[in-house]
């Protein structure tokens, strides 16, 4: 029996045990990882695992369970456990499965699986990591150490079935190559990293390129100093700008909205950002990391314009949060393998503008170009934002010297209104992406 | 303890002979060392939101990890199936890290010593479901009763029972049963001057029985604290920006030590020479008032373990003694390569992960100062009572941690609450500015989760009231 049939069977088992509705997820995956440090193979890991999860509804009560034991007894025990748990939860008038007409899956090949990854031999994968690290070590004698380079891959599949007759599954693959070089000069020691990730090996950046970029990033941090406390324009390099998009995701997620736990709650239709910002969630783009034929409730993925030229156009919703808010699902249900679905995203990104990052920097007399952010000082309820930062100071339109051990602070609501520039350099290296962004003014705190 | 007395023997038929056979297979290609990590975890979680229990989940996760070490190389493979052919296949996969004939001929396993820090008669996972669900319902009631401005409460309870068996090619066999339970309460309140909601959070637990939440730290205790924090924030002013004197309250603010020094002292980073603390043993890295330890042997604590995930008993390790750097936290691989003594800090998230040096409970020993006197000594500064998470870049030594409840100190008194702000410092320097250490050491409530290279493990932290003469505070008010 294949896993899709098994998921359907588990749903039937739940109905036989008294559930009035059920949804079952089964996932399987094989992971591989080879890491090299200072030119020597360090770690090699290869294995596969599977898991099944069920959520049952008994009327408006729900219960969930999961197991790594897919034997008949293991699945029986899982179903029994979920049914038992439904007796301790409370009736929730909004609990339920999607409406039958909401179910479905995108047709056609979404380019999520490539056989070229599984076809790579172990020596080739080790050599990729070795070549990437070597390129970093060769860049400059100041690249004196390394935390290593690694090639990682994941090949897996996910299956979902529910008691309304939906059943679907899809395979996916991904691989990545990363390097973490350490640069030393006198007392100063700094590390940075670069990585490339893709669903097919053919689309991965060349190891030499990954190594070189990582080394350049570590080298340019050498001799970093603190900056004086002041208010200045702040440019978020694309790699860190994506974290702002992640904060926006939390703020527009239906889970935060119905609890009024977001500074964007109740702002639908209002201007919430400068008109430079258009934020899109698109789970349909072929070959990307946030793409899937259907979400984790069996609703087809789609494109949602979340913020259009600064105006909040849509929240991101699953069926539950949509019912709570009197809206329709946007196909953004997400879950591990068990539990009530929460809200996730497809490919979430800020639409690129036309200028290069260099052109944006050229217009700044005194400012901060941030290349790394640290810590968790972001409060989605209030929008308060305060994080550790490192990067390069901008003087007269040019990157002048490295800066670290400072914080940048503001409030997300104000930062969005103050978004003065969006660059053209959008690149999808994960399911959240952003071009370089410039905020008109933030507080840099240093000495 | 015999394997036949463990869940792995009783439920899955595992025997000593099986273990020896798997280890033999793992070393079949000439590895220097191998170990097997059998894991069985049963977990339960219950979530309340808007005064109703919206979800409850139970699950079981079972698997075995096989590790083979050859020189500085490690091979790793795992199986979520305990059938001998699957485990042998994992052993053969891991074995490939070595190249050559088997070096180790004879294997024998002897039960190894361990502590007995959390032997519960009835672990929370075996209690009635309704009893556990009642905890979140009580938390909801108490938070709402605390103040009418509270309008949203989320409470969650989770527990797990992890059975672990570690068999190593150096002959040790250990078994442990590790309970864990945790209660969390998150509150939103509104009604401040600007009309904006504010949040408060509290939670705690450990390797404890359900009685802990019934008799010691009750749902009401955590709920009231979460509600209190949200209400305090309603009147908070913008946080200051720049360098200033910072006083850390006792308990969870010990996360400073975890980030500023703890990670930087994990032996793997130092073996590789990439930590800001590399090569600094014996040097002054903190004020003489500071003694910092990592202690995995505290009964019932979240970060404690009878044995680490390599089968080594945990211990108390002095990291910094009166300001002098004393040592690192070791796992087996680093200790062998550095020729250093084991410290029982080899930990992993699950059977799917390789062990590495990790902290357990990390805290600073109490000093002599009266906490009141410490605050009185500050003309102008910031008092931080509670924090969210933190992070460190171990190479530059820069670390951050985010204050979630703090107050301005003006003229030696706490005057008004300020909004959340991140504090930033540099590990080998930050503790040099410690000028007073309180006599009120407190450990955190039991909520810490530490992430490293994609692996999460539970940890504890602690600190007495501490005054730092200089620290950068990342607020918005210049």
The predicted-structure confidence for A120-160, as pLDDT tens digits, reads as follows 999 999 999 999 999 999 999 999 999 999 999 999 999 99
Interface contact flag, B77 A95, Cβ < 8 Å: no
Q: Is A42 on the interface with B (CB under 8 A)?
A: yes
Encode B312-343: b = buried (16+ Cβ within 10 Å), e = exposed: bbbbebbbbbebbbbbbbbbbbbbebeebebb
Task: Give the CA distances from residue A199 to residues A110, A159, A382, in Å, rounded to whole numbers and listed in that order.
Answer: 11, 19, 37
Contact B264, B394 (CB under 8 A): yes
β-pair partners for B184: B156, B203
- Out of A340, A372, A386, name the one closest to residue B421 (CB): A386
- Token pair 């008032």 is found at B289
- Closest C-alpha to A202, from A242, A173, A237, A162: A173
Q: Is B43 on the interface with A (CB under 8 A)?
A: no
Structure tokens given for A292: 């899937």
The pLDDT of A408-433, averaged and rounded, is 98
Structure tokens given for B92: 């053969």
* B203 pLDDT above the threshold of 80: yes
Interface contact flag, B421 A375, Cβ < 8 Å: no
- Length of chain A measured in residues: 447
Q: Is A31 exposed, middle or buried (0-12, 13-18, 19+ CB in 10 A)?
A: middle
State pLDDT tens for residues A310-331: 999 999 999 999 999 999 999 9
Rg of chain A (C-alpha set): 24
Instruction: Using an 8 Å CB-CB cutoff, list chain B residues near A85.
Output: 56-58, 129
Q: Is B426 on the interface with A (CB under 8 A)?
A: yes
Interface contact flag, A387 B241, Cβ < 8 Å: no
- Return mean pLDDT, chain A: 97
Q: Is A430 on the interface with B (CB under 8 A)?
A: no
Q: Is B147 exposed, middle or buried (0-12, 13-18, 19+ CB in 10 A)?
A: middle
Interface contact flag, A191 B393, Cβ < 8 Å: yes
Q: Is B297 helix (H, G, I), strand (E, B) or coil?
A: coil
Q: Is B283 on the interface with A (CB under 8 A)?
A: no
Task: Give the CA distances from residue A131 to residues A39, A134, A174, A273, B94, in Å, rounded to whole numbers and listed in that order.
Answer: 9, 5, 20, 44, 23
* B101 pLDDT above the threshold of 90: no
Q: Is A18 on the interface with B (CB under 8 A)?
A: no
State pLDDT tens for residues B435-450: 999 999 999 999 999 9
Predicted complex ipTM:
0.95
Q: Is B279 exposed, middle or buried (0-12, 13-18, 19+ CB in 10 A)?
A: exposed
Confidence at residue B13, expressed as pLDDT on a 0 to 100 scale: 96
H helix intervals, A86-166:
115-118, 122-139
- Token pair 């052919």 is found at B85
DSSP conformation class of B113: P
What percentage of residues in chain B have a pLDDT greater than 70?
99
Q: Is B469 helix (H, G, I), strand (E, B) or coil?
A: strand
Contact B185, B143 (CB under 8 A): yes
B102 compared with B335, residue with greater pLDDT: B335
Smallest CA–CA separation between A181 and chain B, in Å? 10
Confidence at residue B192, expressed as pLDDT on a 0 to 100 scale: 81
Strand pairing category for A398-411 and A303-308: unpaired
**Contacting A residues, span 410-429, partner chain B, CB-CB under 8 Å:** 410-411
**Contacting B residues, span 47-86, partner chain A, CB-CB under 8 Å:** 49-50, 52-63, 72-80
Q: Is A243 on the interface with B (CB under 8 A)?
A: no
Mutation choice for B interface testing from A30, A229, A337, A386 by most B CBs within 10 A: A386
Supply the pTM of this predicted model: 0.96
* CA distance linking residue A8 with residue A259, whole number of Å: 34
Q: Is A231 on the interface with B (CB under 8 A)?
A: yes
Confidence at residue A159, expressed as pLDDT on a 0 to 100 scale: 98
Q: Is B133 on the interface with A (CB under 8 A)?
A: yes
- Out of A66, A147, A229, name the one closest to residue B272 (CB): A147
Task: Give the CA distances from residue A324 to residues A95, A259, B50, B216, in Å, rounded to whole numbers and listed in that order.
Answer: 10, 10, 12, 37
Interface contact flag, B391 A375, Cβ < 8 Å: yes
- Position B194 confidence tier, pLDDT thresholds 50, 70, 90: confident
Task: Give the CA distances from residue A328 to residues A13, A102, A319, A324, in Å, rounded to whole numbers and listed in that order.
Answer: 30, 9, 7, 10
Confidence at residue A2, expressed as pLDDT on a 0 to 100 scale: 94
Contact A40, A77 (CB under 8 A): no
- Token pair 């109740």 is found at A266
Q: Positive or negative CA dihedral for B330, B335, B338, B340?
A: positive
Interface contact flag, A47 B60, Cβ < 8 Å: no
**Contacting B residues, span 161-190, partner chain A, CB-CB under 8 Å:** 188
Residue B90's closest chain A neighbor by CA?
A47
DSSP conformation class of A102: G
**Contacting A residues, span 289-318, partner chain B, CB-CB under 8 Å:** none
Q: Is B390 on the interface with A (CB under 8 A)?
A: yes
Smallest CA–CA separation between A350 and chain B, in Å? 26
Instruction: Using an 8 Å CB-CB cutoff, list chain B residues near A75.
Output: none
Interface contact flag, B390 A376, Cβ < 8 Å: yes
What percentage of residues in chain B have a pLDDT greater than 90?
95
Structure tokens given for B203: 């939670």
Smallest CA–CA separation between A21 and chain B, in Å? 15
Interface contact flag, A82 B58, Cβ < 8 Å: yes
CA A217 to chain centre: 22
For every residue of A42-64, DSSP letters joined together read: EEEEEEEEEEEEEEEEETTEEEE
* CA distance linking residue B302 with residue B461, whole number of Å: 10
The residues, ordered by sequence, that sit 6+ positions from A108 with a Cβ below 8 Å of its Cβ are none
Interface contact flag, A405 B472, Cβ < 8 Å: yes
Q: Is B389 on the interface with A (CB under 8 A)?
A: yes
* B478 pLDDT above the threshold of 70: no
Confidence at residue A148, expressed as pLDDT on a 0 to 100 scale: 96
Interface contact flag, B389 A375, Cβ < 8 Å: yes
- Closest C-alpha to A55, from A17, A91, A11, A90: A11
- Closest C-alpha to B295, from B447, B440, B462: B462
Q: Is A445 on the interface with B (CB under 8 A)?
A: yes
Instruction: Using an 8 Å CB-CB cutoff, list chain A residues near B196.
Output: 263, 381-382
- To the nearest 10 degrees (0 to 180), the angle between helices A122-139 and A207-219 is 30
- Position B195 confidence tier, pLDDT thresholds 50, 70, 90: confident
Task: Give the CA distances from residue B181 to residues A163, B76, B345, B452, in Å, rounded to whole numbers and listed in that order.
Answer: 34, 30, 22, 22
Q: CB A16: neighbour CB atoms within 10 A?
A: 9
- Out of A85, A189, A379, name the one closest to residue B58 (CB): A85
The pLDDT of A34-48, averaged and rounded, is 96
DSSP conformation class of B82: -
Instruction: Using an 8 Å CB-CB cutoff, list chain B residues near A154.
Output: none
Interface contact flag, B55 A89, Cβ < 8 Å: yes
- Closest C-alpha to A405, from A417, A421, A390, A392: A390
* CA distance linking residue A209 with residue A194, whole number of Å: 9
State pLDDT tens for residues B40-87: 999 999 999 999 999 999 999 999 999 999 999 999 999 999 999 999
State pLDDT tens for residues B310-350: 999 999 999 999 999 999 999 999 999 999 999 999 999 99
Interface contact flag, A261 B199, Cβ < 8 Å: yes
Smallest CA–CA separation between A288 and chain B, in Å? 22
Confidence at residue B408, expressed as pLDDT on a 0 to 100 scale: 98
Interface contact flag, A382 B272, Cβ < 8 Å: no
Interface contact flag, A374 B52, Cβ < 8 Å: no
Residue A51's closest chain B neighbor by CA?
B61
* A433 pLDDT above the threshold of 70: yes
Smallest CA–CA separation between A284 and chain B, in Å? 28
The pLDDT of B169-182, averaged and rounded, is 97
What percentage of residues in chain A have a pLDDT greater than 70?
100
* CA distance linking residue B95 with residue B27, whole number of Å: 6
- Return mean pLDDT, chain B: 96
Encode B101-119: b = buried (16+ Cβ within 10 Å), e = exposed: eeebeebebeebebbebbe
* B354 pLDDT above the threshold of 90: yes
Interface contact flag, A145 B424, Cβ < 8 Å: no
Residue B401's closest chain A neighbor by CA?
A375
Backbone torsion region of residue B19, taken as left when φ is above 0, otherwise alpha when ψ lies between -120 and 50, otherwise beta: alpha
Q: Is A292 helix (H, G, I), strand (E, B) or coil?
A: coil
Q: Is B279 on the interface with A (CB under 8 A)?
A: no
DSSP conformation class of B170: T
Contact B397, B252 (CB under 8 A): no
Instruction: Using an 8 Å CB-CB cutoff, list chain A residues near B188.
Output: 259-261, 381
Structure tokens given for B440: 């009120």
Mutation choice for B interface testing from A384, A411, A414, A441 by most B CBs within 10 A: A384
Q: How many interface pairs between A and B have CB atoms less than 8 angstroms apart?
A: 261
The pLDDT of B83-102, averaged and rounded, is 94
Task: Give the CA distances from residue A401 to residues A224, A227, A382, A394, in Å, rounded to whole numbers and listed in that order.
Answer: 7, 10, 33, 8
- Out of A64, A384, A387, name the one closest to residue B56 (CB): A64
Smallest CA–CA separation between B199 and chain A, in Å? 7
Count the helices and strands in chain B (H runs, E runs). Answer: 11, 23
Q: Is B473 helix (H, G, I), strand (E, B) or coil?
A: strand
Q: Is A338 on the interface with B (CB under 8 A)?
A: yes
């Amino acid at each position: 029996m294949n896993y899709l049939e098994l998921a359907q069977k588990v749903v039937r088992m739940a109905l036989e045990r008294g559930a009035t509705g059920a949804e079952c997820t089964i996932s399987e995956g094989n992971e591989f990882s080879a890491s090299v440090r200072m030119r020597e193979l360090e770690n090699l890991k290869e294995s596969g695992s599977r898991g099944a999860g069920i959520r049952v509804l008994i009327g408006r009560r729900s219960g969930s369970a999961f197991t790594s034991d897919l034997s008949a007894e293991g699945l029986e025990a899982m179903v029994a456990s979920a049914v038992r748990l439904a007796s301790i939860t409370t009736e929730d008038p909004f609990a339920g499965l999607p409406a039958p007409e909401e179910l479905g899956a995108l047709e056609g090949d979404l380019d999520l699986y490539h056989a070229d990854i599984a076809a790579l031999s172990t020596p080739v994968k080790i050599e990729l990591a070795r070549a990437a690290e070597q390129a970093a070590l060769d860049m400059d004698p100041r690249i004196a150490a390394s935390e290593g380079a690694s090639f990682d891959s994941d090949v897996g599949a996910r299956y979902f079935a529910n008691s309304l007759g939906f059943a679907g599954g899809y395979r996916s693959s991904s691989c990545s190559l990363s390097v973490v070089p350490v640069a030393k000069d006198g007392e100063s020691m700094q590390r940075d990293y670069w990585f490339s990730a893709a669903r097919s090996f053919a689309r991965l950046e060349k190891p030499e390129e990954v190594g070189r970029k990582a080394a350049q990033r570590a080298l340019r941090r050498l001799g970093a100093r603190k900056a004086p406390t002041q208010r200045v324009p702040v440019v978020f390099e694309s790699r860190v700008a994506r974290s702002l998009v992640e904060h926006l995701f939390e703020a527009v997620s239906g889970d935060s909205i119905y609890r009024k736990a977001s500074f964007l709650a109740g702002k639908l239709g209002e201007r919430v950002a400068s008109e430079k910002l258009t934020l899109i969630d698109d789970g349909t783009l072929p070959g990307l990391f946030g793409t899937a034929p259907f979400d984790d409730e069996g609703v087809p993925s789609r494109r949602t314009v979340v913020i259009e030229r600064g105006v909040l156009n849509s929240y991101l919703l699953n069926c539950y949060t949509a019912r709570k808010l009197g809206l329709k699902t946007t196909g953004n249900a997400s879950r591990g393998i068990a539990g009530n679905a929460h809200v996730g995203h497809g490919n979430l990104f800020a639409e690129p503008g036309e200028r290069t990052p260099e052109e944006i920097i050229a217009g700044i007399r005194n400012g901060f170009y941030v290349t790394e952010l640290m810590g968790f000082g972001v409060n989605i309820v209030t929008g308060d934002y305060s994080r550790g930062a490192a990067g390069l100071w901008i003087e007269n339109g040019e990157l002048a010297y490295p800066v670290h051990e400072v914080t940048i602070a503001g409030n997300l609501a104000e930062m969005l209104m103050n978004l003065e520039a969006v660059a053209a350099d959008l690149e999808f290296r994960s399911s959240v992406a952003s071009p370089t962004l410039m905020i008109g003014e933030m507080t840099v705190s240093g000495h | 303890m015999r394997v036949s007395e463990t869940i792995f023997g009783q439920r899955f038929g595992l025997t000593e002979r099986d273990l020896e056979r798997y280890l033999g297979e793992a070393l079949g290609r000439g590895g220097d060392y191998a170990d097997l990590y059998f894991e069985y975890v049963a977990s339960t979680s219950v979530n309340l939101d808007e005064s109703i229990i919206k979800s409850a989940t139970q699950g079981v996760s079972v698997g075995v990890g096989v590790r083979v070490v050859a020189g500085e190389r490690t091979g790793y493979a795992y199986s979520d199936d305990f059938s001998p052919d699957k485990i042998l296949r994992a052993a053969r996969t891991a074995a490939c890290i070595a190249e050559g004939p088997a070096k180790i001929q004879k294997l024998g396993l002897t039960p190894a010593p361990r502590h007995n820090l959390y032997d519960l008669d009835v672990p929370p996972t075996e209690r009635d479901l309704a009893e556990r669900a009642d905890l979140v319902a009580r938390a909801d009631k108490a938070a709402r009763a605390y103040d009418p401005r509270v309008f949203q409460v989320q409470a969650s309870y989770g527990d797990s029972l992890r059975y672990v068996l570690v068999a190593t090619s150096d002959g040790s066999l250990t078994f442990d049963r590790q309970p864990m339970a945790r209660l969390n309460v998150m509150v939103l309140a509104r009604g401040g001057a600007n009309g904006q909601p504010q949040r408060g959070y509290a939670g705690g637990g450990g390797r404890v029985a359900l009685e802990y939440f019934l008799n010691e730290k009750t749902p009401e205790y955590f709920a009231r604290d979460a509600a209190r924090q949200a209400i305090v924030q309603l009147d908070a002013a913008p946080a200051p920006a720049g360098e200033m004197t910072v006083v850390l309250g006792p308990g969870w603010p010990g996360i400073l030590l975890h980030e500023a020094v703890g990670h930087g002292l994990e032996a793997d980073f130092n073996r590789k020479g990439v930590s800001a603390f590399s090569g600094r043993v014996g040097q002054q890295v903190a004020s003489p008032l500071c003694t910092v330890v990592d202690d995995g042997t505290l009964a019932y604590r979240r970060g404690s373990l009878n044995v680490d995930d390599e089968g080594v008993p945990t211990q108390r390790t002095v990291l910094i003694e009166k300001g002098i750097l004393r040592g690192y936290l070791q796992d087996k691989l680093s200790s062998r390569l550095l020729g250093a003594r084991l410290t029982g800090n080899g930990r992993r998230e699950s059977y799917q992960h390789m062990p590495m040096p990790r902290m357990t409970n990390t805290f600073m020993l109490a000093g002599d100062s009266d906490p009141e006197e410490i605050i009185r000594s500050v003309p102008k500064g910031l008092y931080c009572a509670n924090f969210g998470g933190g992070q460190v870049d171990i190479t530059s030594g820069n670390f951050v941690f985010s204050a979630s409840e703090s107050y301005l100190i003006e003229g030696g008194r706490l005057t008004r609450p300020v909004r959340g702000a991140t504090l930033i410092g540099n590990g080998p320097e930050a503790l040099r500015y410690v000028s007073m250490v309180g006599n009120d050491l407190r450990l955190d409530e039991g909520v810490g989760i530490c992430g490293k290279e994609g692996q999460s493990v539970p940890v504890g932290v602690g600190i007495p009231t501490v005054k730092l003469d200089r620290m950068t505070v990342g607020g918005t008010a210049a």
